[in-house]
Structure 1
């Protein structure tokens, strides 16, 4: 039986202003790293992360490019996905079928145990290794694992992702989500998380206020929505984000979500906060032409795991912008979505 990491609301302290430029470890980080390192040592990954070359691409956006060919060649074959709302299929691979050695621990918050017919029902959230890691500490967070939800965000999943950010005191901790048709490869609800030792442009770039808690990101090649955990709670923020993800799912719009530490949008607070980006984007179905990288969640955030060695050396900011723009919706469609989403906060 997997070890349980029990936490309370008071443990959600995140990164303080004194740590904003450092890489510190909380109890959560320490357990995650120890378990992850041991799993790597014991050979439970498909490859070692010993040949990941990193470079910062010259230009305004300071893209972080990392050569990681094995992630493309040795990862699990993606499931056949055709729609954003594809139903969960118990015959397909899911995260209850993994080896026990791939489970690092269970994540349990005291307050999330719910009463059901007079009995306490435990919500089982697994933290497991990604057997094909893109960076150090790459894990999958599987909220409500035994509920067999398809890869469609629930408010609880969003809140769990936010709380994992706050359980970490490492400035480079990231959480991400790919919807179906946006490079999710397993149709069982899960989030990605990992550590990155390099700063990203989206951590401090400007955003534009739309309405209420809703902002817009236009500083990257693919526009999207932005939220922040600033003067609000994880319950409030997860509810606001869920309004948008539910709209996108209901309207069969592929999307990616990225959580990172960064400056508050108004830059008035010295305390780092959690920024959340949500990109509606073009659907990806089937196999497309070979590119240096797929445009999934971390790539939209400016972190580029490069899968083709021959294309790594010639990367430029312009060529990267061009590739990321392949995920961009047509202006008219994006504007229509933006108008609808703004109405959710009336």
Structure 2
């Protein structure tokens, strides 16, 4: 199995803005994209990626893409009834994938000592090697769609740990592509496999949340109110990997303990409240506590998971795609919004978490 070894020296917080004609790829981008292209060429996906049509809708420039094959050909999702559903080894999980679906093992090398670290339990040794695998999503929604499966052999359920969040941030930092995105769906928030994993992909278009206005709440915590479903916003700028990982984990842990479904989405964008073409760019993270969904809504144009909450809409039915407008989009997304009293209670608790972790 190929290993992609990296250090902190490989990280890049900045990226080119969408106003720039420059286009730069990192070693990580090249390895991922070349491996993904070869896997597609060799027929290891359920279908050839075929986005039949893309259109930009409304003032927020929602990106709607007609991707019929994903709805028709994807693996049937697990039956999920709880945010805290235990891992079931008898169900499909990522230890059962084919070797041909694995792109590489993501391995961190300590800058000072030269030791290989695994992102979970410290230095690797000969008795316990932790594999953080990047695998193809065999039912892709966009170019380069992969899954990051931290510590695959631990068979963790689909929950966020501090180490998995940190690994996700580091994976974002390994890419220099302005359109590289990464995120997480909890159980009952459209996760279809109960085995810890994150989605990552390239969307070579600007989306609204990259430069959307946010309101400051306290410390490094902001609120996103410009989208139909309110959520929380943090950024790597002036926060750092350690604190950002801790706060996101505490948010996720709060949601797990209180059976609250949640999604998060990472994207590059200008530093909060900078103009969209600012050269001061960073990684933005959005975190949405949301209503639990049990099963899929076949009558809807799209399901509401991490990419849809951010304004990227893979649509599964041509007729619904053709009739889509901003009002229908926002009405659908709003269905995931918590009632205001519940959301405000979470906001109060998240502010306390942020203040506690920042002190």
Whether TM exceeds 0.5 here: the answer is yes
| 2:39 aligned residue | 39
CA distance in 2, matches of 1:67, 1:320: 14
Query: Do structure 1's residue 279 and structure 2's residue 288 form an aligned pair?
Result: yes
Q: CA deviation at 1:133?
A: 0.2
| 2:60 aligned residue | 61
| 2:173 aligned residue | 166
CA distance in 1, matches of 2:130, 2:248: 21
Out of 214, 220, 242, the residue aligned to residue 221 of structure 2 is 214
CA distance in 2, matches of 1:248, 1:117: 31
CA distance in 2, matches of 1:118, 1:183: 36
Q: CA deviation at 1:213?
A: 1.4
| 2:114 aligned residue | none
Unaligned stretches of 5+ residues in structure 1 = none
Q: CA deviation at 1:15?
A: 3.4
Alignment of 1:303-318 (within 5 A): 303-318=312-327
CA distance in 1, matches of 2:332, 2:124: 52
Q: Which runs of 4+ in 1 moved over 6 A?
A: 116-120
| 2:201 aligned residue | 194
| 2:27 aligned residue | 27
Out of 157, 160, 178, the residue aligned to residue 164 of structure 2 is 157
Contact preservation (8 Å) 1:115, 1:121: no
Question: SS in structure 1 opposite 2:343?
Answer: helix
Query: Do structure 1's residue 127 and structure 2's residue 141 form an aligned pair?
Result: no
| 1:82 aligned residue | 81
CA distance in 1, matches of 2:267, 2:285: 7
Contact preservation (8 Å) 1:16, 1:271: no
Contact preservation (8 Å) 1:136, 1:196: yes
| 2:93 aligned residue | 94
TM-score with structure 2 length normalisation? 0.92
Q: CA deviation at 1:298?
A: 0.0
Out of 274, 290, 301, the residue aligned to residue 310 of structure 2 is 301
Question: SS in structure 2 opposite 1:6?
Answer: strand
CA distance in 1, matches of 2:51, 2:284: 30
Unaligned stretches of 5+ residues in structure 2 = 111-116
CA distance in 2, matches of 1:205, 1:81: 33
CA RMSD across the alignment = 1.8
Change (3 A) 1:217 1:199: same
